[in-house]
């Protein structure tokens, strides 16, 4: 009887995305957001805090005398 050998896997399975995990200290969550996957950190662990909303501007009165 001939022996059957399984072909060796040399890379990721075609058609599936590579799983990416958060690099934060003690955080082991899988990253699903494209921006988080690119940066390597989840929104909570990201050292460069980013927001998804535009900058918040507060109306201020002009300084008297200027």
Q: Do residues 27 and 44 lie in contact, with contact meaning Cβ atoms separated by under 8 Å? A: yes
Is pLDDT at 20 greater than 70 in this prediction?
yes
* Mean pLDDT value of segment 19-31: 88
Q: What is the pTM of this model?
A: 0.47
Q: What pLDDT digit, counting tens, does each position of 35-53 carry?
A: 888 888 888 888 776 655 6
CA distance 26 to 44: 12
Q: What is the DSSP string of 6-65?
A: PPPP-SPPTTSPPP-B--STT--PBP-SHHHHHHTS-TTT-SS---SSPPP----PPPTT
């Amino acid at each position: 009887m001939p022996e059957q050998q399984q072909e060796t896997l040399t890379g990721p399975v075609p058609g599936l995305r590579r799983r990416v995990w958060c690099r934060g200290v003690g955080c082991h969550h899988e990253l699903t957001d494209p921006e988080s996957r690119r940066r390597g950190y989840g929104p909570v662990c990201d050292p460069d805090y980013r927001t998804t909303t535009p900058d918040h501007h507060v109306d201020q009165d002009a300084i008297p005398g200027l």
